[in-house]
């Protein structure tokens, strides 16, 4: 690359260079001559590439080199060729609300530009600089990507991403010139014309620059999209990466369902390896180079073995996430405020190197007002037609309109739900009038997902068979309010929207925390004004993410059920050691919750399934006893040190050690459930220590659930070996009143507000306070009964952990009570 640098290097200062640019109006500028301030000359895409090439290449971020054909060159072309007035005449009666009118006028303008000869002086400069690029890479007719870069694109409140065209694997002078003409013409694609009209941009105030950039051989590797922010919730501390095999257009367009990865940026910067989640995509096809006739690329099927593998290894995921942080920090520093970024990356399958090939500002969550909390809730249940990956957190409804071909979009009516295979920018004129969007294919960074976020409408992607399972012209409800999984229901179902203004909400002295079990909801719920998570349940992660009994993984040969064996093999396909599957999935689930609230405390309760619940896991029946009353049987602490389960508990410990030691999430506090005796507590702490979770080491705190009368009676002794207590009123009520809380026959007796229960609660709070130990509550009572919450404040409890939907009203209530008692 030294030769290229010699070609491009200038002796003058940056300031002198900029002055010269204004005077000379060049046709060509190389990336190392550009910065983000050059948007008027080369558009947002090329300016950003130059900014990164100059400033971030020295920091290890790889950017393929290239040059920009300037917007001045575009204006020069339409003026010199005398076609500007012809374009104005074609557009004089434009009506973007009329699909036929828009289509006809767009086609005429594009045809006019494509048939116009590029002036020789411009053509010669493009060819000369392409030859220089070939020389720099020591290749004849080097392969390049030719990308459009409009001068108004990538503004923080108006994303022009995808409005113009990109051409891949372009080689030689004739292909390059042809691609440049097509790029110039793409300034007038139907979607670009419509978008400019909507945003109030004058068609002739916007120029088009072209980026000519060395291709990364991702046709032999992989590629994808990356955000420095969570695209669904706006959570700032996670980098989100998607990946599929082959050239990146399939991911951008939503033609494949890619892998998805989340990485926690704060501890990544501290040197840890915090991969929060890895979700395998189907990746059915890949785009590769092609030399058949006039085709330069084509799609081919991906082998089934590769589909079942992740497209990136852990080191590559972490390297990309590190680059996302570097790029975000650079642009934020330059802008003087937080600036999340949307990037495209590619892996060269020949060299194995990763590259960033595009970066632009994220245009949705960067504009959000996080002081106003808006929550959507379904008020009734209905028939689920199909599900997929949810985009956003809203609910929408209307008549389903299945459209399988872009040429049918003129039939679409405002307020309908668009159901289709996938979208690309040609669909945007109707996307903006849809009440919701559902696609068969695509991941959370595909075109449909990006545009629906910008438009603020719910979208579900990757349903696989949405166009087959959803009845056309029938009313449906599209629900994205329940985490990462979205549901399409039959009919228009009732829902509500809650709004909370958090600006003036005072924080009470009593810590308000939250109960949470579903990692998919963690980022979204992190915006609630809580002091962390008082109860993170492992059961949801084990049941929904892992699905397999831990002993069935450790002792697979003992599983005799053929269906169970087949399912276990399918789920653990990517693992040589089946036990590692359990460790990874549990660690990722817990880490996602811990990361969402970092550095606030997240109290993780160790697994508390009963034997009948463990038996329902895949392979579980081979390892679980039949108990007459599992509720008070082999559960909690008694399992962890038992010879029959101890080996399985070690997997749990290894997962939690990974969260704290390898991912750096030391805000995780562990909690032992259903610990009946002091001896049990000592046994459990010993086993935990043998598995790398020694209380006090690396700041590890271990609490116990206070849910058995013996915990209260011997509170002094329990708090000598544990760092604190969290009261579980559900079991404490059950065992104090001597009833089965699952039995409807005695349900009328079950009440946490019973004086016997309240006396025990008050007593254990007093003991904990006298010993200077943590005392909180994570049971249902304060969520269900406001008077119980005020009782706890009077008793001097340190924290209350509540269900998410009761957080705001309980904060208001606790503030009032604290004011009343002068706390």
Closest CA to 524 of 391, 412, 654: 391
Label residue 55 exposed, middle or buried (CB < 10 Å: 0-12, 13-18, 19+).
middle
* Mean pLDDT computed over 76-89: 90
If pLDDT is split at 50, 70 and 90, which confidence band does 366 have? low
Dihedral class, residue 200 (left if φ above 0, else alpha if ψ from -120 to 50, else beta): left
Q: Assess whether 778 carries a catalytic annotation.
A: yes
User: How much is the mean pLDDT over the chain?
Assistant: 90
Distance between CA atoms of residues 239 and 264, nearest Å = 7
If pLDDT is split at 50, 70 and 90, which confidence band does 363 have? confident
Catalytic entry in 330, 365, 447, 798: 447
Q: Residue 328: helix, strand or coil by DSSP?
A: helix
Range from 95-109, 191-205, 698-712 carrying the lowest mean pLDDT: 191-205
Q: Assess whether 446 carries a catalytic annotation.
A: no
Listing DSSP states for 432-495 in one string gives: TT-SEEEESS--TTSHHHHHHHHHT--EEE--SSHHHHSPTTSEEEEE--SSSEEEEEES---E
pLDDT at 660 over 80: yes
If pLDDT is split at 50, 70 and 90, which confidence band does 15 have? low
Report the pLDDT value the prediction gives residue 369, as an integer from 0 to 100.
63
Which carries the bigger pLDDT value, residue 296 or residue 349? 349
| pLDDT tens figures, 306-346 | 999 999 999 999 999 999 999 999 999 999 999 999 999 99
If pLDDT is split at 50, 70 and 90, which confidence band does 367 have? low
What is the share, in percent, of the chain residues with pLDDT greater than 70?
A: 95
Report the pLDDT value the prediction gives residue 417, as an integer from 0 to 100.
97
Distance between CA atoms of residues 585 and 202, nearest Å = 52
Catalytic entry in 180, 446, 706, 778: 778
Closest CA to 649 of 630, 635, 667, 663: 635
Report the pLDDT value the prediction gives residue 164, as an integer from 0 to 100.
62
Distance between CA atoms of residues 179 and 408, nearest Å = 28
Q: Residue 396: helix, strand or coil by DSSP?
A: strand
Query: What is the pTM assigned to this prediction?
Result: 0.85
pLDDT at 11 over 60: no
* Mean pLDDT computed over 374-384: 89
If pLDDT is split at 50, 70 and 90, which confidence band does 780 have? confident
Answer for the pair 261, 243: CB distance below 8 angstroms, yes or no.
yes
Answer for the pair 257, 441: CB distance below 8 angstroms, yes or no.
yes
| Residues 6+ away with beta carbon under 8 Å from 700 | 660, 666, 669, 670, 693, 694
| Residues 6+ away with beta carbon under 8 Å from 92 | none
Report the pLDDT value the prediction gives residue 14, as an integer from 0 to 100.
46
Report the pLDDT value the prediction gives residue 4, as an integer from 0 to 100.
36
How far from 12 is each of 17, 48, 70, 425, CA to CA, in Å? 6, 22, 21, 42
| pLDDT tens figures, 700-745 | 999 999 999 999 999 999 999 999 999 999 899 999 999 887 777 8
* Mean pLDDT computed over 160-174: 77
Distance between CA atoms of residues 396 and 382, nearest Å = 14
pLDDT at 8 over 70: no
């Amino acid at each position: 690359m030294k030769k290229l640098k010699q070609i491009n290097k200038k002796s003058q200062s940056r300031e002198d260079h900029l002055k010269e640019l204004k005077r000379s109006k060049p046709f060509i500028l190389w990336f190392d001559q550009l910065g983000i301030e050059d948007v008027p000359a080369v558009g947002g895409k090329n300016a950003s590439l130059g900014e990164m090439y100059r400033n971030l290449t020295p920091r290890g971020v790889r950017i393929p080199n290239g040059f920009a054909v300037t917007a001045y060159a575009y204006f020069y072309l339409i003026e010199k060729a005398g076609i500007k007035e012809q374009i104005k005449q074609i557009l004089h009666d434009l009506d973007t609300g009329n699909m036929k009118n828009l289509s006809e006028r767009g086609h005429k303008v594009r045809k006019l530009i494509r048939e116009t000869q590029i002036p020789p002086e411009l053509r010669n400069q493009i060819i000369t600089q392409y030859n220089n690029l070939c020389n720099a890479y020591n290749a004849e007719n080097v392969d390049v990507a030719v990308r459009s870069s409009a001068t108004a694109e990538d503004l923080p409140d108006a994303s022009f991403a995808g409005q113009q065209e990109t051409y891949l694997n372009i080689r030689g002078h004739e292909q390059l010139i042809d691609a440049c003409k097509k790029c110039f013409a793409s300034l007038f694609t139907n979607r670009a014309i419509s978008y400019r009209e909507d945003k109030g941009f004058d068609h002739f105030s916007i120029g088009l620059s072209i980026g000519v950039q060395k291709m990364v051989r991702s046709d032999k590797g992989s590629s994808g999209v990356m955000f420095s922010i969570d695209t669904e919730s706006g959570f700032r501390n996670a980098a989100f990466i998607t990946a599929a095999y082959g050239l990146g257009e399939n991911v951008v367009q939503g033609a494949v369902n890619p892998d998805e990865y989340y990485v926690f940026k704060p501890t990544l910067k501290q040197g840890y390896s915090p991969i929060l989640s890895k979700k395998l995509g189907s990746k059915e096809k890949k785009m590769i180079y092609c030399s058949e006739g006039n085709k330069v690329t084509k799609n081919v099927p991906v082998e089934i073995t590769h589909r079942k593998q992740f497209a990136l290894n852990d080191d590559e995921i972490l390297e990309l996430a590190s680059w996302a942080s570097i790029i975000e920090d650079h642009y934020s520093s330059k802008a003087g405020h937080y600036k999340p970024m949307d990037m495209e990356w590619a892996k060269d399958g020949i060299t194995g190197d990763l590259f960033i090939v595009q970066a632009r500002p994220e245009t949705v969550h960067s504009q959000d007002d996080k002081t106003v909390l808006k929550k959507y809730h379904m008020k009734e249940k209905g028939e689920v037609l199909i599900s997929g990956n949810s985009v956003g957190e809203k609910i929408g409804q209307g008549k389903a309109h299945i459209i399988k071909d872009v040429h049918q979009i003129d039939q679409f009516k405002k307020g309908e739900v668009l159901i289709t295979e996938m979208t690309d920018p040609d669909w945007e004129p109707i996307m903006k009038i849809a009440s919701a969007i559902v696609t068969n294919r695509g991941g959370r960074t595909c075109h449909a997902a990006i545009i629906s976020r910008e438009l603020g409408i719910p979208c579900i992607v990757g349903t696989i068979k949405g166009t087959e399972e959803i009845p056309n012209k029938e009313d449906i409800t599209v629900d994205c309010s329940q985490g990462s999984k979205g549901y399409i229901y039959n009919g228009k179902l009732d829902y509500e929207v809650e709004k909370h203004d958090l600006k003036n909400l005072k924080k009470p002295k009593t810590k308000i925390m939250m109960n949470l079990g579903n990692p998919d909801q963690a980022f979204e719920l992190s915006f609630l004004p809580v002091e962390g998570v008082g109860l993170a349940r492992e059961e949801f992660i084990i049941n929904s993410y892992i699905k397999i009994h831990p002993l069935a993984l450790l002792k697979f040969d003992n599983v005799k059920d053929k269906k169970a064996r087949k399912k276990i093999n399918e789920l653990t396909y990517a693992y040589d050691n089946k036990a590692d599957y359990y460790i990874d999935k549990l660690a990722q689930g817990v880490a996602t919750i811990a990361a969402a609230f970092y550095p606030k405390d997240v109290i993780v309760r160790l697994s508390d399934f009963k034997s009948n619940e463990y038996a329902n896991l895949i392979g579980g029946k081979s390892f679980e006893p039949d108990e007459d009353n599992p509720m008070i049987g082999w559960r909690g602490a008694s399992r962890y040190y038992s010879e029959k389960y101890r080996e399985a508990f070690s997997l749990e410990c290894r997962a939690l050690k990974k969260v704290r030691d390898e991912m750096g999430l030391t805000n995780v506090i562990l909690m032992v459930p259903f610990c009946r005796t002091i001896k049990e507590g000592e046994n459990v702490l010993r086993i935990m220590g043998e598995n790398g979770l020694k209380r006090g080491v690396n700041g590890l705190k271990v609490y116990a659930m206070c849910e058995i009368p013996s915990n209260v009676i011997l509170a002094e002794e329990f708090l000598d070996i544990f760092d604190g207590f969290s009261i579980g009123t559900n079991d404490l009520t059950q065992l104090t009143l001597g009833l089965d809380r699952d039995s409807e026959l005695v349900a009328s007796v079950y009440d946490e507000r019973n004086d016997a229960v309240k006396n025990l609660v008050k007593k254990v709070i007093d003991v904990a306070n006298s010993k200077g130990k943590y005392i909180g509550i994570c049971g249902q009572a304060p969520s269900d009964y406001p008077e119980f919450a005020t009782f706890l404040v009077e008793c001097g409890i340190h924290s209350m952990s509540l269900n998410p939907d009761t957080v705001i009203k309980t904060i208001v209530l606790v503030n009032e009570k604290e004011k009343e008692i002068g706390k």
